[in-house]
Homo-oligomer: A and B are copies of this chain.
Amino acid sequence: MEELCINLLKKRGVELEDIADCVIFLQKKYVPELNQEIALEEVKMVLRKREVQNAILTGIYLDEMAESTMEEGPLKDALVSDNGLYGIDEVLAYGICNLYGSIALTNYGYIDKVKPLIIGKLNQKTQQCNTFLDDIVGAIAASAASRLAHNR
């Protein structure tokens, strides 16, 4: 399952290193020794959780359907336009962050507003629908940041 999720992320344009860079963006000032290797280790630990894997599978499935066979209607409209009032993408993201406590939640809120690095790239209008993907990547990075904060 972990392998499958890593491959799905890669297929949608996200390498684990991209997520690790977001962790560094969030925690560098609190953890001076932080580097990509350390950040990557935490990202991988987050990806080992079953609920995280299920959020990835479900969110990316919805993004892919919005690009392909989903019929016209309010759900497709919300997904294709990444409507800020849709909200279910953030609900899934919080489902991940909640597992890592309040530091994950505030970091996710921050990164979701600032949209640095890969999150900014995913958020630009492209051919691909990334409505769920950008929030899931942000939630994984924020959760890895929370692990770091608690362990160091």
Contact = CB atoms under 8 A, between A and B. Distances in A.
A34 interface: no
A1 B65 CA distance: 21
A69 interface: yes
Interface in A42-88: 50-51, 54-55, 57-58, 61-62, 65, 69-70, 73-75, 78, 84-88
A90 B94 CA distance: 12
Number of contact residues on A: which range applies? Answer: 35 or more
A95 interface: yes
Interface stretch (A14-22, A106-114, A122-130): A106-114
A82 B25 CA distance: 23
Contacts of A54: 75, 78, 86-88
Contacts of A150: 50, 85
A87 to B, nearest CB: 4
B90 A105 contact: yes
A95 B106 contact: no
Given A65-B65, A94-B95, 16 more contacts: A51-B87, A54-B87, A55-B91, A57-B74, A58-B75, A58-B88, A84-B149, A85-B149, A87-B95, A87-B101, A90-B105, A91-B92, A98-B98, A99-B100, A107-B109, A108-B109
